[in-house]
Structure 1
């Protein structure tokens, strides 16, 4: 299921619909493929696991861990943040942002309002960044957990912040794009973008490259904004709204753009996978695929999970499809990641699946204790995954 947000006459409402085309008003049985026997050629195992607060529970979230040097930083929805040694999972530091930055007594349930962390963790240059549905943006020192700065915007943030050492850029749920000085957290500029009456729950994480912030929008476009002044340089359309209803006309670009040399790769829901020239916005090629998940790239191949939970390998030279794996249809897969010759995806039933990157055949599986909901993170010979209950695992291939 994918959460939709509906904006009408200044009011915010939420609805749940199935991406498989199920009706909003009829009770239809959700179907998914049962796992089948396969010829295992890889044996993944958990190197260590730790509990990170209370996780994200059943809320929509793309909250993920981030590797920063020798530690991995992870958080829960309420505002607990901790860093763990990559080698053995021992905790290096912990911080309770909820206790420090939320109002006491705001909740009749436990006396403290949730910080509602949903964006992040982004790790870069010894820093860890987080953002919240309450409009908070935090920069922490990844070595100590010290809060370098805290900024606040009047908008919900559910996408990872982007950071290049000089700028921090966040995309908010109301269509605004905010840029902050990475040194002190002062807002430099903000740019509004159009938001349709009905959009998918979620936003595109910006990608910072070539002096610009590259961002997908809720109107099916890819846009580049000049980091220095917040001016739009160009925009390219990846999807055209079609259909009689607002639901049919959804065209969100929620995937984080990938930049490789002179080309940007991105994908839209109900739209196209496209290669776009970074300097001009000219579309080099486009192919009909639909996804709201992040892409993965390794070498000259793109990997994607589509709205039917099919996993694809597509060559970047012309967008030629190499293979498709449909073994996990309906299992609500995460975005894919490349890991030591395999494409790895998690599912809502609590499994990690390993697909041979060359052939597309299912080659390995690891059972988790809870649902996987966000894209796994890879660093060297380790893969990290965080489950909904807050468990953080380090996985290796034996």
Structure 2
């Protein structure tokens, strides 16, 4: 495959599943000690002047949504089967379509074709607002399909990776990987790097040949710990941070690490107890921990640059590095912009009061936020 492969392409879910099975094994417990009270925020310092510029709406989002950015277009989906492409410059719909079944993973897009996975275990391809094709999968998927190089790639909950022809839906290849008996009901890692497909398989970042699915290299990001299957669960979770040849990712409740994707070699790994993906800039990698701490690691060596507990116990999204800020959503519908230099608060934004449903994204200089109630909000600095 040519380098065009890369050119066509940035409420924590704690449910665990038996790999390759439909039965739920473990969900968030309702009993036990009460969750600690979130830290008080204090007054909004408003050190950044950020204004709302538009809002739109989809329906409720109750799955691990990832908002896809391609140029000025953001593609997203709601739980009831709605898939929408929105112009980030003005918030207007480019198209909408309902795929006819609830959605479990999405959305993926290359700007021309979009794809989602339904709870009926079907991958559905969409073009110009119309369903192009659908294909049955061998297992559920919670990771948005990757649309790139005129192909659609799907990471299954059974740790299978499947490639489909983008125009016809013909199955091109399938690779199956055995591993731990439990997997996360949460988006994993499935991203392009030049002519390599980067996939998170259990605790390992794997570079695959997108033409046939063969493995080119594998690098562990964390090591399983504990004495039972739940404690040893270390699946890689999206989103990732890429700078040149280095891709940094989080292993669920185990660690954060960076891998040289050209050489297929580790750069560094650090123990960390987080649930969401990471973001970064030229110097730092940012992450949110399971207790609401926000941490910045030095990109060069993984040493900790700063940590803040100002958002502790607020159930945070994965971060977005944006300009001089780190953007993070919480479970009350607030969006926090922290200084990327030291984690101090710069400003915060209010949405519709429901939890932030996806990692914040930026498209055409517009910060786009999606909530669990289906609110889609665009913000720009003054």
Q: Equivalent residue of 2:342, what SS?
A: coil
Map of 1:157 onto structure 2: 141
Larger RCO (alpha carbons 8 Å, 6+ apart): 2
Map of 1:13 onto structure 2: 24
Equivalences for residues 181-260 of structure 1 within 5 A:
181-218=165-202, 220-260=203-243
- Distance, in Å, in 1 between the alignment partners of 2:20 and 2:237 is 24
- Distance, in Å, in 1 between the alignment partners of 2:129 and 2:141 is 21
Map of 2:78 onto structure 1: 76
Aligned in 2, Cα 1:44/1:205: closer, same or farther, shift over 3 Å? same
Map of 2:15 onto structure 1: 4
Aligned residues: 369
Question: 1:68·1:128 contact (CA, 8 Å) conserved in 2?
Answer: no
Aligned in 2, Cα 1:91/1:266: closer, same or farther, shift over 3 Å? closer
| Deviation for aligned residue 1:73 | 3.0
Question: 2:222·2:269 contact (CA, 8 Å) conserved in 1?
Answer: no
Map of 1:346 onto structure 2: 329
| Deviation for aligned residue 1:10 | 5.5
Aligned in 2, Cα 1:90/1:279: closer, same or farther, shift over 3 Å? closer
- Distance, in Å, in 1 between the alignment partners of 2:164 and 2:19 is 29
- Distance, in Å, in 2 between the alignment partners of 1:191 and 1:94 is 32
Map of 2:95 onto structure 1: 93
Map of 1:127 onto structure 2: 113
Structure 2 segments unaligned to the other structure (5+ residues): 1-11
Question: 2:19·2:183 contact (CA, 8 Å) conserved in 1?
Answer: no
Name which of 366, 374, 388 aligns with 2:358. 374
Query: What TM-score, normalized by structure 2, do the two folds share?
Result: 0.88
Map of 2:252 onto structure 1: 269
Map of 1:394 onto structure 2: 378
Question: 2:327·2:337 contact (CA, 8 Å) conserved in 1?
Answer: yes
Q: Equivalent residue of 1:3, what SS?
A: coil
Name which of 337, 342, 346 aligns with 1:363. 346
- Distance, in Å, in 2 between the alignment partners of 1:69 and 1:252 is 30
Q: Equivalent residue of 1:293, what SS?
A: strand
| Deviation for aligned residue 1:304 | 1.3
Name which of 3, 10, 33 aligns with 1:28. 33
Map of 1:103 onto structure 2: none
Structure 1 segments unaligned to the other structure (5+ residues): 18-23, 99-114
- Distance, in Å, in 2 between the alignment partners of 1:36 and 1:7 is 43
Moved >4 Å (runs of 4+): 8-11
Per-residue Cα deviation, 1:167-221 (whole angstroms, up to 9, x for no partner): 3211111111111122322111111122423333224131122322111123x11
Q: Equivalent residue of 2:139, what SS?
A: coil
- Relative to its length, the structure with more strand (as a share) is 2
Name which of 104, 117, 131 aligns with 1:118. 104
Map of 1:102 onto structure 2: none
* Alpha-carbon RMSD: 2.3
Equivalences for residues 102-117 of structure 1 within 5 A:
115-117=101-103
Aligned in 2, Cα 1:368/1:179: closer, same or farther, shift over 3 Å? same
| Deviation for aligned residue 1:146 | 2.5
Q: Equivalent residue of 1:254, what SS?
A: strand
| Deviation for aligned residue 1:375 | 0.2
Higher deviation after alignment, 115-124 or 349-358: 115-124
Establish whether residue 325 from structure 1 lines up as the match of residue 308 from structure 2.
Answer: yes
